[in-house]
Amino acid sequence: MKYFLITLVFVIVSNTTLIAQHSQFQFNNDSWKTVRKQAKKTKKMIFVQAMSPNCDACKELESRVFDDKELAQLYNNSFILFKIDSSTSKVKKLVEILSINAYPSSYIVDANGNVIHKIVGLVTKADLMDMAKRVLANKGTLAHYQKTYAKGKFTKDELFDYALVLEKASENYKPIADEYFSRIPVDLLGEPQNVDAIVMFTDDIHSREFAFIARGAGELRGFISTTGDVQMKVEDVISNAVMGFMQNTRIEEKMNDTLNRIFREIEIQNQHLVKERVMLDYYDVILKDYPHYFHALVGYVGSHLDILSNSQLAAYCRRVSEDCKEMEVIDMSLNWMSIVLERDPHNKEYYEISIDLLIKAERNEEAREMGVRMVEMCKDVISDPEQLLEDLNKKIYSAEANPSR
């Protein structure tokens, strides 16, 4: 979820036309003060969407979520819809009240401006359906949990849900997650909900919960919880620990010593996969050695192809398109993007990454063909196909006139 956030830099505002014309959501163009008056009069709550014109996740939200008729009908009928946009600068006070610091962010607030529920980051239709359900039932919202937690003991399931709500809201979930884990016997850690909780909430390399998934990562490899892959979670936690210990130390021997110490202290399956990930991050974060990084990336992705998500693969390929000059790596990235497009043939961003890679490989006719395919497969989110293809041709001509290699 956090991979899609853009940090707030500009002062924020409402009343711009970020949402594309095909959006089914009927956002109110009045001032925040007027919208609050309408909320009081109609006794409706306000759905507030924070957006940025430079945010790829916001564009995906517009084209893939706000265009859903079922979802739009629910929100248009149940709430007053209001949009905050970073491209203008009028509602500074509202931004401070809502503590908006990332895009996109989705809020439901009452007529007095109190936050009832929020989700920070890119949301899906299911996320917004769940959000509306919680708010309309006045149960399971962020505000409801914050109010009731101090009054009495939560059940185990309520603790799990509260921690999940806090995580999605980018709030501190650790105390609630710790209380949840304290109620789980060791022999029940492998139950699906508990594995979900471990993948979502565990970042302590020395915790009982991390030791469980590290020890069982082999059996759990490919087990996709609702929050991610178990194997990759193990790699994330260990790599973060090693990188934190290394700080800016550039000695590879120290990195290996640190990793081997962890391996001695904790029983970890698939140690070779973990080491691949740590080496990848070491070249990237510590050494900033891009030639070694990209060659390590080929091995890493090759051994993780079955568990990397489309967005993860695409992110790696975008990095190759921007910074890599090695043709072997570029060609491999094109193969990865072919896999991504087979899985999701209607995602405009994935075509754009593939086109950039083809141009970098000087396979310009294929890039043009990919552009035509993008127009055909993504017609619902492309408002001016002719202009898009014209811009693509200009990009190709520019690359031909200024070859990078």
How large is the average pLDDT for residues 58-79?
Answer: 91
Does 141 map to a domain?
A: no
Boundary (domain end) residue, out of 109, 124, 139: 124
Tokens representing residue 174 in the block: 């650790």
Does 215 map to a domain?
A: yes
Boundary (domain end) residue, out of 182, 203, 228: 182
Average pLDDT in the chain: 88
Does 194 map to a domain?
A: yes
- Please report the pLDDT score of residue 135 as a whole number: 98
- Please report the pLDDT score of residue 93 as a whole number: 73
Q: What is the pLDDT of residues 121-136, one digit of tens each?
A: 999 999 999 999 999 9
Reported as a pLDDT band with limits 50, 70 and 90, residue 6 is very low
Q: 338 and 247 share a domain?
A: no
Does 129 map to a domain?
A: no
Task: Tell me: pLDDT of 224 over 70.
Answer: no
Reported as a pLDDT band with limits 50, 70 and 90, residue 100 is confident
Length in residues, the chain: 405
Task: Work out the angle at residue 104's Cα, subtended by the Cα atoms of residues 166 and 64, and round it to the nearest 5 degrees.
Answer: 110
- Please report the pLDDT score of residue 91 as a whole number: 67
CATH number at residue 29: 3.40.30.10
Answer with the residue of higher pLDDT: 7 or 96.
Answer: 96
- In angstroms, rounded to a whole number, what is the distance separating the alpha carbons of residues 345 and 381? 13
Query: How many CB atoms sit inside 10 A of residue 83's CB?
Result: 20
Containing structural domain, residue 157: 149-182
Report which of 287, 285, 286, 359 is spatially closest to residue 320, judged by C-alpha positions: 359
What are the distances in angstroms from CA 21 to CA 67, 279, 305?
Answer: 9, 46, 37
Q: 207 and 166 share a domain?
A: no
Name the amino acid, one letter, at 63.
S
Q: 368 and 278 share a domain?
A: no
Does 131 map to a domain?
A: no
Name the amino acid, one letter, at 114.
N
* Helix spans in 109-173 (H): 125-137, 142-148, 156-168
Q: 175 and 211 share a domain?
A: no
Q: What is the pTM of this model?
A: 0.79
Answer with the residue of higher pLDDT: 148 or 400.
Answer: 148
Q: First vs last Cα of the chain: how many Å apart?
A: 36
Does 169 map to a domain?
A: yes
* DSSP for 264-295, written as a single string: HHS--S-HHHHHHHHHHHIIIIII--HHHHHH
Task: Tell me: pLDDT of 19 over 60.
Answer: no
Task: Tell me: pLDDT of 9 over 60.
Answer: no
Q: 383 and 279 share a domain?
A: no
- In angstroms, rounded to a whole number, what is the distance separating the alpha carbons of residues 181 and 156? 9
Residue 308: CA atoms inside 13 Å, Cβ hemisphere, count? 21
CB contact at 8 A, 127 and 110:
no
Does 139 map to a domain?
A: no
Q: Which long-range contacts (CB under 8 A, 24 or more apart) does 295-298 make?
A: 295/326, 295/329, 297/329, 298/328, 298/329, 298/332
Q: 75 and 92 share a domain?
A: yes
pLDDT > 90 fraction of the chain, expressed in percent and rounded: 66
- Please report the pLDDT score of residue 245 as a whole number: 86
Query: How many CB atoms sit inside 10 A of residue 109's CB?
Result: 24
CB contact at 8 A, 38 and 28:
yes
- In angstroms, rounded to a whole number, what is the distance separating the alpha carbons of residues 110 and 302? 49
Tokens representing residue 359 in the block: 């141009």
Total count of domains within the chain: 4
CATH number at residue 373: 1.25.40
Tokens representing residue 280 in the block: 């990848």
- Please report the pLDDT score of residue 401 as a whole number: 83
Q: 117 and 201 share a domain?
A: no
- Please report the pLDDT score of residue 400 as a whole number: 86
User: What would you report as the CA-atom Rg of the chain, rounded to the nearest whole angstrom?
Assistant: 23
Task: Tell me: pLDDT of 300 over 90.
Answer: yes
Q: 156 and 192 share a domain?
A: no
How large is the average pLDDT for residues 57-86?
Answer: 90
Task: Tell me: pLDDT of 12 over 60.
Answer: no
DSSP β-bridge partners for residue 108: 47, 117
Boundary (domain end) residue, out of 277, 303, 329: 303
Report which of 67, 80, 126, 89 is spatially closest to residue 107, judged by C-alpha positions: 80
- Please report the pLDDT score of residue 306 as a whole number: 86
Does 136 map to a domain?
A: no
Q: 178 and 191 share a domain?
A: no
How large is the average pLDDT for residues 366-388?
Answer: 91
- Please report the pLDDT score of residue 354 as a whole number: 97
State the burial class of residue 62 (Cβ atoms within 10 Å of its Cβ: 0-12, 13-18, 19+).
buried
